[in-house]
Structure 1
Amino acid sequence: MTVTATKFTPEVMLSAPRRSPGVPNPSGKLVLYTVSAYSFADRKKTSQIRVFDIESGNSELLIEDPEASSPVWVAEDKVLYLKTDSRGHTTFLVRSVRGPEPEEHDIGKINAPLSDLKVKKLPGGNFALACSALVSPDGKLVNPETDKKPLSSAKVYSSLFVRHWDAWNSERRRSIFYGALGEENGRLVLLGNSLTNALAGSSLSSPVPPFGDSADFDIGASGLVFVAKDPELDPAIYTKTDLYFIPLKTFTEPQAPSPRIVKTPGLEGYSQTPVFSHGGTKVAFTRMRSKQYESDKTRLILVPDINNPDATEEFYATEDGVGGWDSRPDAIAWSLDDSRLYVSAEHRGRRALFELPSNPSQATELPKPVETPQGSVVSFSVLPRPGAETATAAADSLFVSSTSLVDNSCYSITHPDTLSCRVVSSVSKEGKSFGLSRSQVDSIWFPGAGDYDVHALVVRPSTFSKDAAKKYPLAMLIHGGPQNAWNDAWSTRWNPAVFAEQGYVVVCPNPTGSTGYGQDFEDAIAGNWGGRPYQDLVRCFEWIEKNMPEVDTDRAVALGASYGGFMINWIQGQPLGRRFKALVCHDGVFSTLNQWATEELFFPIHDFEGTLYENRAAYEKWDPARFANEWATPHLIIHSELDYRLPVTEGLAAFNVLQAKKVPSKLLVFPDENHWVLKPENSLVWHREVLGWINKYSGIEEEQKSN
């Protein structure tokens, strides 16, 4: 990492190297990771694959190539990666990580773009390989770079789900391909120089769009497991995804057996993150109960024998079906002896790591968080050790990748048995912390609108003074989702420290609907978008006013995106809107009556408790447009034309109302961004416009001029 900064600005944040989670090699001594960075001086992005030595703390460059991706270990000192050229052709390359001139050789080429590479060593010594690619309706690989372009741009549809996230849907879909690597003349080769479509002949697609990746499938000695949407249900209306198993022995089978569904009676929602045990016969994964609720509680599920996919067991199951563990487990890893599971889950403003027995009948006590660095766990791997086949889980150590509100990458080793954790690499530890420090981060609890307390994260400026005469304007950030939360984690899109370094005390509340505080608290937002969550925010503002004398609420500003953007527009029409000097709405909802312009219709069906035509009153009740006559606070509207979740007309309508009412307002539009602003140059403009807007009305602009 090469970041040095005394002042944390948008430019510093956006140009800082972004380090991926680390993956240990077979001995657990080296860690493979990628780094990307953008230079505003050169207008150029760089991409590297690097190796980190845990013992020495040194990092070495392995590959610097924007076309290289998906690096994985295939030996103690060898890495396999993909390289896709400008024609869309993908080459498998093996490179050694040791020696003055590391050896590299080509082991096969596929004439289509590939991604999500995964490998697993098989008992016979070969490696099973799986990756994903785009296929045509007949299961053939598609190369968009060389594909014949149609003469017309017309799109014709006769069913739901015409577009998703930022793309118009077509008959093409993602599929998983498998193959095997073996040794010939001392070198790895792709056996048969070909891959097999594991889902050929089925109507299944995996990874699941729009965010599915290699976590949607796993390789074991018994074969391949993956999650896929139920092809019998409309994907716009239902969330149901099932786990499937394809038995494979050598991964050179020219045709895959038909996928076998894993049955989970009573659970019909999302299936996610399947992981084979080290023994290769057990599988752990997560599943939701509701087939129309994307934020339902995930249950941890065990398949004791994948060759018998009809038998599954739920951890912490209860007779009423609610489940005894009130958390949402996501990522999973098995202990080296397969007797324990390590899982991550949101927990009160952070993403924590938990340990529990791998046998549901032995999981009689609710798991407690394992010791990890301050912040949120991003990924984790159980480290190998000598004699692992006879060792017990009590001696496990885990390599953990995490982030925090002031640290964009931290690598650590945690020992669950001794409750100890050692940081081996982090931006903060190495003294290159963007000028930020942990002392800036705090949290508060305040009474909510009902018989409960609400949590909020607080980030203060690095120059914060406890001088009673010094007061800082409030910046209240409202998260999207709405089933989401502000966590002690790094972000390059909504980073509280960016606002704090402008001179604000930033408060990030997690009101009703937020995740990580129990399922009842999360579910209570359904049918209540502008009710309890809004009242929680009112209580937050009032609590700050009474209990945080360093905060100047007379110069407060509020900002939000997605559902947070809805709330900004809702606040604008309510009494709380008059307490803010300026508002910022990114990709927000202008009118809830327009929710059926979205793509995943199961979302409004759940959150507004029915369809628009069956329960219109529920949509009208929380419609910000109903209160447009009250809009009066200066308001910045931001929207993107590729946002198919919340179409750009929502932003245009809100801006038109503000302009017609002569309310100070500005519109910022990105034609080439989706629900998120991801391109560095666009993101820089976003930050400059947002900070310029709130600084103008909070008085910080004048303070900066005087300094």
Structure 2
Amino acid sequence: MKPSRLPHPLTALLILGAALPAAQAADIAPAQAIAKHAITHEDVWLMKRVGAPQPSPDGKWAVFSVTDSAYDSKEQWSDLWIKSLTDDTPARRLTFSKGGEGALNWSPDSKHLIFVAKRDGDDAGQIYRIDIAAGGEAQRLTTLTLGARQPKYSPDGKQILFISDVYPDTADEEAVKKAAKERKDRKYSARAYESFPPRFFDKWLDDKKARLFVMNAEAGAKPRDLLSGSKLVDLPGFGGAQGDEGQSLDAVWAPDGKSIVFAASTNRHEAARASSFTQIYALPLGGGEPQQLTKDARSYHGLKFSPDGKTLLTLTEEEAPGKVYDLSRLASFAWPMTNAQPKILTATLDRSISRIALPSDSKRIYFTYEHAGLEQLHSMNYAGGDQRQETSLPTGVINSLNAGGKAMVGVWESSVNPPEIYAFNGTPKRLTSFNVEKAGAIDWQAPEHFWFKAADGRQVHNMLIKPANFDPSKKYPLFSVIHGGAHNMWRDGFVLRWNYHLLAKPGYVVLLTDYKGSTGYGEEFARAIQFDPLKGPGDDVNQAVDEAVKKYTFIDGDKLAAGGASYGGHLANWLQATTTRYKAIVSHAGEMDLIMQWGTSDSVYGREVNSGGPVWSNLPVWREQSPIMQGGNHEKGTGFKTPILITIGELDYRVPINNALMNFAAQQRLNVPSKLVVFPDENHWILKGENSRYFYNEVHGWLAKYLK
């Protein structure tokens, strides 16, 4: 996939009563009977964090994680819970361990569940199995030096497929263990690289390589490396998508259980100068050389087989040459695959598919996609026809969706309803209530949506957030908060890092604008930032502010502020350099110089494509749309003048700290009121509880100082 399609793990989010079906609202006390309060950081941080539910193959149960958050990470717990899908009995806790569990997968007979956890005695995450039918403690199945991840039961339930890592030139576990000890015992700490990238978000990458393993589904069974000795893994660019836990090869069992189907790249080593493609391969269970099934300029991921085993479904991006964004479309192949050309099922839908679910009794594919702040349920037949919208809640977003048997479950949330588990068979039904009572006690309103026509004729979507105790007869300062990405969308969701209502709490109206480059509005809208990375989006943000001031009489047009993180930080810096309309700016993880960001970030090629050529090509965009190059334009009445709060995580390798240091240096050089806040133990996001509390206090303090 293109380097510009960057992961944006923005932690995601019903209007109580109004958005809930009446039958579900009945168990909530009338609004006037609840003593409501303005949201606090404790409300945001200590909400239960509900993970994606995994329904059992017989459709009778759903298992999911629930995190009991705490400000001290040592006091935080995460466990698995189980909920019946056949009656209304409450969910119950299934595990009692502090470390947490992930990568859940059911056995085909719905009696056992496997997951990955790091428990006492584990140096890395291992696969555990718990007997759902009989109960009891979870049993460790693997003891690999480098751990195991993404386990999946075989169709007959007798074997488990998973991913683990090996070191170069290691043929078995003993060799891996020996190599690990040698690295631990080294007297030096140097890192050496001969391919790009050397870093990812907050991690320096090492020489571990992802491999596919299979083992019998029992404790003590010996895992077998299916890719060992193959020519494919010896290619310099072999690998998968990089994540926090390492590379993913996106592997699934073939329906007959005799082979493995997976997606991998063979040109990852070209990441600094080309798009990386992930193609589909098949590998016999007995090992040997993988067979490449697709050979095109696409990337494939999210592989799933239809319940009848006759169709392989996958999400795919075209990877169009010279373009900065490609829609994720849904494609299918007849199985066994006889034609390497995919059938694009959503060719006429100008949206990226987020996720799909395949109930066993249905002849339809269910899917979600982003649109104007929402993410709702849709379906189509297996030929890609009869696309239609299914019954969805009118607000919020579905942020996970899985099928098991006839059941379909997921997580639904909105900005005023933290995540809960829902069933999506017909009218959505809430299955859990971990956060309902706490959410019901907060004085908050759902976002108000509005659109305007941009100067170039595009329709731009916005959401407006009002503070607690809102009085339309009063005047409120406006805080325009800019999303990251840029290929992202403001979602009607419950957010941790830039919680809309917590930002609005002191008495601000918060404006959320999906500027050009955002997702949820079609491929061309997202591509519109090519050759215009900051000016065009910045103009949209400024016009959105003008439109909001004109539309809403309760906004004080003389008290405006703007801020954002990542790409939102880039734009915050751009606004500070090019307009003086704002009284205060907040910039987190914002770039200052396109050239410097190109050379120090963990992603370079997508930035080069976006600007039209390499940094040495002398293209004007590299200088003309770098905030630092506009900062001294005082003769034009602009330049760096607006007071700015600059925050950064010292471990941020996506937007490295040199950007923040340059920003602060420039502000101090020009005698601009400015403050630099560095979080030594944070990365691209502020993820620790007390750091988060401090961050919000700093933002609120800065705004209060200049929006009196």
Shorter-chain TM-score: what band?
Answer: 0.7 to 0.9
Return the offset for 1:651: 0.3
**Following the alignment from structure 2 to structure 1, what is the Cα–Cα distance between the partners of residues 504 and 599?**
37
Equivalent of residue 592 in structure 1, options 582, 586, 594: 594
Moved more, 106-115 or 625-634: 106-115
Displacement of 1:97 in angstroms is 4.1
CA contact (8 A) 1:117 1:129 kept: no
Moved more, 350-359 or 627-636: 350-359
> What is the rounded CA distance, in whole Å, between the counterparts of 1:413 and 1:516 in structure 2?
24
Deviations 1:54-111 (A, max 9, x none): 4224121221213452343335453323343455265543333467xx3236363323
Distance change in 2, residues 1:82/1:277 (3 Å) = same
Matched, 1:62 2:94: yes
Q: Which residue of 1 aligns with 2:150?
A: 117
Shift of 1:569: 0.9
Instruction: Sort the Cα spacing of 1:90 and 1:606 in 2 relative to 1 into closer, same or farther, 3 A.
Output: closer
Report 1 or 2 for greater relative contact order, CA contacts < 8 Å, sequence distance ≥ 6: 2
- 2:399 aligned partner, one-letter code: V
For the 8 Å contact 1:116–1:214, the answer to whether it is kept is no
The alpha-carbon distance between structure 1 residues 198 and 310, as it changes in their structure 2 partners (threshold 3 A), is same
Q: Does 1:359 align with 2:383?
A: yes
State the partner residue of 2:566: 562
Q: What is aligned with 2:617?
A: 614
**Secondary structure of residue in 1 paired with 2:642:** coil
Listed one character per residue, the Cα deviations across residues 585-620 of structure 1 (whole Å, up to 9, x for unaligned) are: 000011112122222212211211111112432211
Which residue identity does 2:41 align to in structure 1? P
Amino acid at match of 2:136: E
Equivalent residue for 1:175?
211
646-655 or 432-441, larger mean C-alpha shift: 432-441
Query: Residue type of the partner of 1:61?
Result: R
For residues 321-470 of structure 1, the aligned pairs below 5 Å read: 323-337=347-361, 339-360=363-384, 363=385, 366-368=387-389, 370-372=391-393, 374-385=395-406, 398-415=408-425, 420-426=427-433, 430-433=436-439, 435-436=441-442, 439-466=445-472, 468=473, 470=474
Name the amino acid aligned to 1:126.
Answer: G
How many angstroms does 1:637 deviate by?
0.5
Q: Give the direction of change, closer, same or farther, for the CA distance of 1:313–1:40 in structure 2 (3 Å limit).
A: closer
**8 Å Cα contact 2:38/2:444 also seen in 1:** no
What letter corresponds to residue 109 of structure 1 in structure 2? T
2:282 is matched with: 246
Q: 2:60 aligns with which of 29, 53, 70?
A: 29
CA distance in 2, matches of 1:564, 1:247: 43
- Structure 2: tracts of 5 or more residues without a match: 1-34, 633-638
Q: Deviations over 1:455-482 (max 9, x none)?
A: 011221232123x2x1221111111111
Give, in whole Å, the separation in 2 of the partners of 1:635 and 1:13.
25
Distance 1:584 1:235 in 2: 32
Counterpart contact for 1:373–1:412, Cα < 8 Å: no
State the identity as a percent. Answer: 24
Question: Secondary structure at 2:470's aligned position in 1?
Answer: coil
Conservation of the 8 A alpha-carbon contact between 1:229 and 1:239: no
Q: 2:378 corresponds to which letter in structure 1?
A: F
- Judged with a 3 Å threshold, the aligned counterparts in structure 2 of structure 1 residues 115 and 673 are, in CA distance, closer, same or farther, namely farther
- Residue 348 of structure 1, CA deviation: 1.8
Aligned pair in 2 of structure 1 residues 502, 53: CA closer, same or farther (>3 Å)?
farther
Tell me the residue number matched to 1:132: 163
Q: Take 2:239 and 2:393, find their aligned partners in 1: how far apart are those partners?
A: 32
Q: Which amino acid aligns with 2:293?
A: V
Distance in 1 (CA, whole Å) between partners of 2:388 and 2:247 is 28
CA distance in 2, matches of 1:384, 1:460: 42
Q: TM-score, normalised by structure 2?
A: 0.85
1:274 is aligned, of 303, 307, 320, to: 303
Give the alignment of 1:672-691 within 5 angstroms: 672-691=681-700
Q: Give deviations 1:181-235, integer Å, cap 9, x for gaps.
A: 2xxxxxxx25843243446533275551035787933233243222222337502
Distance 1:48 1:206, change over 3 A: farther
Corresponding residue for 2:497? Answer: 493
Distance 2:703 2:228 in 1: 51
**C-alpha spacing 1:213/1:275, structure 2 compared with 1 (3 Å):** farther
- RMSD over equivalenced CA pairs, Å: 2.8
Structure-2 change in CA distance of 1:378 and 1:414 (3 Å): same
Q: Unpaired runs of 5+ in structure 1? A: 182-188, 317-322, 386-396, 700-707
Distance 1:264 1:118, change over 3 A: same
Contact 2:50-2:421 within 8 A present in 1 as well:
no
- Answer yes or no: is 1:103 the counterpart of 2:136: yes
Kindly indicate whether the alpha-carbon contact (under 8 Å) linking 1:474 and 1:557 is maintained by their aligned counterparts in 2: yes
Q: Which amino acid aligns with 1:641?
A: E
The corresponding residue for 1:521 is: 525
The answer for the alignment partner of 1:390 in structure 2 is none
Q: Match of 1:415, SS?
A: coil
**2:54 is the counterpart of 1:48:** no
Specify which of 56, 61, 73 is matched with residue 106 of structure 2.
73
Q: Evaluate the alpha carbon distance shift between residue 91 and residue 619 of structure 1 in structure 2; reply closer, same or farther with a 3 A threshold.
A: closer
Of 574, 581, 584, which residue of structure 1 is paired with 2:583? 581
Q: For residues 418-439 of structure 1, what are the alpha-carbon distances to aligned partners after superposition, in whole Å with 9 as ceiling and x for unaligned? A: xx322223456x3321644674
Conserved in 2, the CA contact under 8 Å of 1:285 and 1:302?
A: yes
Q: What corresponds to 2:331 in structure 1?
A: 301
Distance across 1 between alignment mates of 2:136 and 2:220: 20
CA contact (8 A) 2:444 2:501 kept: no
Distance 1:623 1:401 in 2: 40
Alpha-carbon distance in 1 for matches of 2:557, 2:425: 44
Q: CA deviation at 1:542?
A: 1.0
Q: Counterpart in 1 of 2:342?
A: 312
Q: Name 1:186's counterpart in structure 2.
A: none
Question: 1:685-704 to 2 correspondence within 5 Å?
Answer: 685-699=694-708
Shift of 1:656: 0.9
Q: Do 2:37 and 2:443's aligned partners in 1 also have CA atoms closer than 8 Å?
A: no
Match in the other structure for 2:189: 153
Q: Which moved more, 1:647-656 or 1:51-60?
A: 51-60
Residue 660 (structure 2) aligned to one of 647, 651, 666:
651
TM-score computed with the length of structure 1 as normaliser: 0.85
Match of 1:703 in 2: none
- Return closer, same or farther for 1:62/1:414 CA change in 2, 3 Å cut-off: closer
SS class of match (2:439) = coil
CA contact (8 A) 2:351 2:370 kept: yes
